[in-house]
Structure 1
């Protein structure tokens, strides 16, 4: 087995094909299998390089991976059980017929041509990726009615030139550097009540914009996140990110209510579990109630944590957040370990500052215990287990720990400004 295996991604449409035969074993590359029923992603499965699975073992693993999602898609009456035995016994045609008869009808077969959603892409000096992202958004089965490109502190005109290729795209230049600054600038220019954010390094599923809009047909939803699937797992850095820092939050709907904060207060509410900024959306009116993104929680400032801190504020204000796995994007993780280390440094720095701010707001929260006791024990174990080679999960621990230390220092130096920004 290679020291740093990579994975070939296979998307398997169970409504159109049998999951068998299993891809042939390869000692150089593993497999990342994503299972679909029409436009619904149902689950995934990692197969390690050189791992040999019998058909029976493979189908058992497949059934376990997709059963939770199948349960939520079973049509009324909802007391039916997914018939996984047919799949496990290789009766595939019978299983597929069961699925066709018992799963909810596909509501995306007749999509509206467009939906009233403003999509905001915050970007900086990545014109090639931006152009691909815009082409993707404009070719969807159902397109958003507004696309805004926020050019964040550019060093040249390449982003403007890329955006100018598309007459449907609105270009806005924001001279002040910072992701959350750019996010707020996008909000101020957006025309529609529903505002969605995607990164310039994602490609969205053809039905993504529809599902963003559909999520907010529930009046109780203030914000949402969606499913993020890895686009490529070709390098060590990409594999490590997906295995240990994945944006993928699963294939089953989840609704986060203020009870989530109350139930997890003792350990420090893990709001980062709610979703990723690469695929999120809001009602604009929410920001009138909870405030804009905190521009001090930013790369170049405290670090990367503006989205998670916003989840905390929304739930603390008594509002709900929906995770909808039908709103799907494909994210291209950083290819090089150097870039991944930099990313995780800022993640942990921003996480530390946001946690300390949230601790200040809610004195009973367990964030300090998490920062001063839980995480040090966790990293001590990683250091011990990784010695002396520090590969795979342990290859980035020094960057992560430096990020935490930097976060404490930043928080100490800028406490007054941070408190003021948090209250505002």
Structure 2
């Protein structure tokens, strides 16, 4: 059996001089993330056979993002190379400076909620990164969800500015809801214990709410490791990276779509924030959803209800976290089973909330999609096809879970 080669993740700051010929070695795999100072611009996979013209390829990756930020038409790509590079870089700096040169306060009124369950080592790394924020949150809450022991509490005690709470009922939605109720600030940011946040994470969350008429936001999630086959499968087919340009969502996202609204593509729960009053108004996260219950999708189900009520949500790629994907195939299969189970349950709940958007038909057609994937993967079922059975059985588990739980209240703990 051929062992999967790791991708080496390299973050390239284009505002600094880089001789990429010295960075990229032959017969190696790379995942390059391009930045201008603190602004992410795009990413590029490079496999063992390399790329024919690396500089031109990089430009093709970053120009859509730069155009979004205001880059003027520059003619063909060749015109940006060699002699015109200095002018090109000056133009980049000019359009991105307003997003970079901002006055950053030392502390802002944001509550950070981290829900965890017996992953003390990961939690410690996450909390250490929060301590290094350029702009500190005024409150950090760790919600220990039905713990087996006191290892989480021991970690939290090492951080004097972190508040510890136990939610005895298993389920991520129960933990999230306790965090919302205990949070003292009007803005609540959520992240996960397997995440390390960017230094400007808190500031950019606070700044986005301050300068935009929105009720919630999501942000960019970059893989922190692509060493194993499992991590590579997840990033390529299930990854949380939603791109490098701002996206705004409102009720039109639901009603103007020609197909089922893919509400799960708004972002991920590892990097999201809300105005507290909107969560309270909409009666919190649905307890039937999320890890420990259906498996996932408590985040996207709340976004769905928000958009139905004409709330506004922004995806902001300058709000950045780094996520540690599952390293083993067995872990990934278990994760994707839960993802598909929760996905199905949430879609059927969406249908119960609005029967005109096509979610029931979407769920009905999913087995056809999977049968096609089984045919395409036959007979070896390598790479992406390795997890098909876990996903497929997760689908039917979701149908069963919904039938058994559809009449239960979404909220039992007031």
Q: TM-score, normalised by structure 2?
A: 0.94
Instruction: Report the equivalent of 1:40.
Output: 39
Q: CA deviation at 1:111?
A: 1.6
Q: Quote how far apart the aligned CAs of 1:23 are.
A: 3.6
Give CA deviations for 1:293-332 in whole Å, capped at 9, x if unaligned: 0011123322211001111011001100000100100001
Residue among 50, 68, 75 paired with 1:72: 68
Q: Distance in 1 between matches of 2:318 and 2:369?
A: 34
Alignment of 1:286-301 (within 5 A): 286-301=278-293
C-alpha distance in structure 1 between counterparts of 2:405 and 2:196, whole Å: 37
Q: Deviations over 1:22-68 (max 9, x none)?
A: 643443x41000000010000000011x22323xx222221121112
The offset of 1:108, in angstroms, is 4.6
What's the secondary structure of 1:326's corresponding residue? Answer: strand
Q: Does 1:224 align with 2:217?
A: yes
Residues 74 and 80 in structure 2, CA contact (< 8 A), matched pair in contact too: no
Show the counterpart of 2:371: 380
Q: Hey, what does 2:30 align to over in structure 1?
A: 31
Q: Which moved more, 1:108-117 or 1:211-220?
A: 108-117
Residue aligning to 1:240: 233
Taking a change above 3 Å as real, the CA distance of residues 316 and 120 of structure 1, as seen in their structure-2 partners, is: same
CA distance, structure 2, for counterparts of residue 102 and residue 352 of structure 1: 42
SS at match of 2:153: helix
What's the counterpart of residue 180 of structure 2?
187
Q: Distance in 2 between matches of 1:331 and 1:417?
A: 33
Match of residue 63 from structure 1: 59
From 257, 264, 267, the equivalent of 2:250 is 257
Q: Check the 8 A contact 1:137/1:204 in 2, yes or no.
A: yes
The residue that corresponds to 2:388 in the other structure is 397
* Conserved 8 A contact 1:63-1:88: no
Match of 1:407 among 373, 394, 398: 398
Of 356, 370, 389, the match for 2:362 = 370
Match status 1:162 vs 2:155: yes
Q: Give the counterpart of 1:311 among 276, 287, 303.
A: 303
Q: Name the CA distance, whole Å, in 2 between partners of 1:132 and 1:100.
A: 33
Distance apart, 1:290 and its partner CA: 1.4
- Give the 3-state SS of the residue equivalent to 2:196 in structure 1: strand
Structure 1 range deviating more: 237-246 or 109-118: 109-118
Aligned to 2:165: 172
SS at match of 1:165: coil
SS at match of 1:381: helix
SS of residue paired to 2:342: helix
State how 1:122-133 maps to structure 2 within 5 Å.
122-133=115-126
Retained in 1: the 8 A contact 2:15–2:37?
yes
Q: Which residue does the alignment assign to 1:17?
A: 17
Q: Which runs of 5+ in 2 are unaligned?
A: none
**Distance in 2 between the 1:19 and 1:246 partners?**
29
| Secondary structure of the structure 1 residue equivalent to 2:97 | coil
Alpha-carbon distance in structure 2 between the residues aligned to 1:12 and 1:303: 36
Give the paired residue count: 412
CA distance in 1, matches of 2:219, 2:306: 17
Give per-residue Cα distances to partners, 1:379-400, cap 9 Å, x unaligned: 1221111111111111111100
Does residue 51 in structure 1 map to residue 49 in structure 2?
Answer: yes
1:354 to 326, 346, 355: 346
CA distance in 2, matches of 1:86, 1:337: 45
Looking at structure 1, the residues matched to 200 and 150 of structure 2 have their Cα atoms a distance apart, in angstroms, of 32
Consecutive unaligned residues in structure 1, runs of 5 or more? none
